[in-house]
Structure 1
Amino acid sequence: MKRTLLIVDPQNSFCDPAGTLFVEGASRDMERLTDFVEINGDAFERIVVTLDSHNRMHIAHPAWWVNKEGTPPEPFTTLTCEEVADGTWRAANPEDQAWSTEYMEACGTHVIWPPHCLMGTWGHAVYHPLDTILTRWANRHTDLVFIPKGNARYTEHFSIFQPKVKREGDPASQFDLALLNDLDSFDEIYVAGEASSHCVADSIRDMVTARPSMAKRVILLTDAMSPVAGFRDLADAFFKDMSQAGVRTASTTTDLT
């Protein structure tokens, strides 16, 4: 049995209570996952860790936008296409206005997040207890892979495979077929990470949509992922849809030894 463990965005911004976009329950998720890796690490041939990797100036951060008074939106504000069209919100940099309008026409609505997972900062790093056990695992098995995502500032990038809105000419807009093919080479793909409402959900949806045959090999560790506050309905819909697609669920108490 050839297994891999895919850990989506297990970073301080999401998983530490001091993180700027802390997901309630994420620290406990990652502690359970740490125990799971410590016990079951030898069962995995590869561990893949994705890292949300943002510039401070990013279309999903407040600094990108201003209102008619020149004030940026508060985190968790939801912008609408109509508000951008009528000038309620506009790009702070006039050079970004045309793309921002096109982006909102594609999205319809767009949530503004606190600046998070900024490259080169503490928030970008892997949550420490998990990082420690991953380092131990890598010293024994070597095949620990880190994959950044989200460093294109012009689009939201929840999924590990592709951005929310593709931008012509931007290399980050290409579907990550290499990652899909790599994961497809495994008999079982265990999945954990944050958040079940957004990055985990969009990633596994993209995987199953692009290659439905992979669904039956995916196992979601449901006690090692949590939804962003206020978005539990998205997580519930994700679990329901994936169950119908043939994706399985398990907990971190599963013994693979």
Structure 2
Amino acid sequence: MKAALIVVDMQEDFCPPNGSLAVYGARDLAPTINSLLAHPGFAVRVASQDYHPPGHISFATNHPPPNNRPFECSIKMANPAPSKQTETQEQTLWPVHCVQQTSGADIIPEIDTSKIDLLVKKGMHPLVEMYSAFADAFGNQDPAIVSVNANLRSFLTDRGVTDVFVVGVAGDFCVKHTALDAAKAGFRSHVVQDATECVVPGSGWKETTQELAAAGVSIIQSDGPEIADLI
């Protein structure tokens, strides 16, 4: 086994008290995540960072009323791949968050970023959402298409990684999709439950765990044997 830790979107806009899309309890995850970052059993440590342009398609304010209420409304989004632009998905609208070169996009200072080997800036294409650190909503991984600064699958594969452990926020969105895409990419995928929080408390995590389990992603604890046995 060769393990990688992926710290997902621990950014100011996702954390109380002032984040525009704050996830309850997100900032309190920092001590657990830092403990994992310091664990000698992880050969590779990655952090992801939502990094949207101001005109991003998911921002409610970029669409006309009355159908632009964040959390409630959605719009149709097209696949940015040149040969697949007839493929569409519904996209939930969000408050403006993690805009490039703003303090809201910064990783919170409580996270020890000195141990990070790769920072994946994602969601930079204005016309497509990218919850996962691996691929956009349509599964595109090519940085030339999705406007992400790194191909995470190639980065991990090149370093011999076999297992991916995912932490951060939000459990029911970016953490979930990162873990699912890790499994699709052929890695053994794990989500550390006590190192993630959801946008929708309670029901959000219940539905997420069902989806993860169906895809073969294991749900573990930071003090469990899966972490303790890493060498």
Specify if TM > 0.5. yes
Q: Is the 8 A contact 1:76 1:111 kept in 2?
A: yes
Q: How far apart in 2 are the matches of 1:66 and 1:201?
A: 30
Residue of structure 2 equivalent to 1:5 = 5
Residue of structure 2 equivalent to 1:123 = 104
Q: How much does 1:55 deviate?
A: 1.2
Q: Is the 8 A contact 1:222 1:249 kept in 2?
A: yes
Is residue 2:48 matched to residue 1:78? no
Q: How far apart in 1 are the matches of 2:191 and 2:209?
A: 9
Q: How far apart in 1 are the matches of 2:86 and 2:24?
A: 29
Q: How much does 1:7 deviate?
A: 1.0
> What pairs up with 1:144-155 in 2 under 5 angstroms?
144-155=117-128
The one-letter code sitting in structure 2 at the alignment partner of 1:187 is: T
Of 157, 161, 164, the residue aligned with 1:189 is 164
Residues paired across the two proteins, number: 219
Are the structure 2 counterparts of residues 224 and 103 from structure 1 closer, same or farther at C-alpha, using a change threshold of 3 Å?
farther
Residue of structure 1 equivalent to 2:45 = 47
Spell out, residue by residue over 1:167-203, the C-alpha distance to the aligned partner (whole angstroms, 9 max, x if none): 9x99233899942133342233221111111111112
Q: Is the 8 A contact 1:16 1:127 kept in 2?
A: no
Structure 1 unaligned spans of 5+: 85-101
The one-letter code sitting in structure 2 at the alignment partner of 1:33 is: I
Q: How far apart in 1 are the matches of 2:139 and 2:153?
A: 18
Q: Is the 8 A contact 1:63 1:72 kept in 2?
A: no
Over the matched positions of the two proteins, sequence identity in percent amounts to 23
Spell out, residue by residue over 1:32-79, the C-alpha distance to the aligned partner (whole angstroms, 9 max, x if none): 2123334x2x22222111111011211111232113xxx682322313
Structure (1 or 2) with the greater strand fraction: 2
TM normalised by structure 2 equals: 0.79
Residue of structure 2 equivalent to 1:106 = 88
Are the structure 2 counterparts of residues 202 and 18 from structure 1 closer, same or farther at C-alpha, using a change threshold of 3 Å?
same
Spell out, residue by residue over 1:205-240, the C-alpha distance to the aligned partner (whole angstroms, 9 max, x if none): 2232343xx23xx2211111111137x545433322
Q: Is the 8 A contact 2:5 2:37 kept in 1?
A: no
Are the structure 2 counterparts of residues 79 and 242 from structure 1 closer, same or farther at C-alpha, using a change threshold of 3 Å?
closer
Residue of structure 1 equivalent to 2:80 = none
Question: What is the DSSP-based 3-state SS (H/G/I as helix, E as strand, rest coil) of the residue aligned with 2:7?
Answer: strand
Q: Is the 8 A contact 2:20 2:95 kept in 1?
A: yes
Question: How well do the aligned residues superpose, as a CA RMSD in angstroms?
Answer: 3.3
Question: What is the DSSP-based 3-state SS (H/G/I as helix, E as strand, rest coil) of the residue aligned with 1:202?
Answer: helix
Structure 2 unaligned spans of 5+: 78-83
Question: What is the DSSP-based 3-state SS (H/G/I as helix, E as strand, rest coil) of the residue aligned with 2:36?
Answer: helix
Q: How far apart in 1 are the matches of 2:85 and 2:71?
A: 18
The one-letter code sitting in structure 2 at the alignment partner of 1:26 is: A
Higher Rg: 1
Q: How far apart in 1 are the matches of 2:8 and 2:190?
A: 14
Of 110, 115, 136, the residue aligned with 1:163 is 136
Is residue 2:212 matched to residue 1:242? yes
Question: What is the DSSP-based 3-state SS (H/G/I as helix, E as strand, rest coil) of the residue aligned with 2:74?
Answer: strand
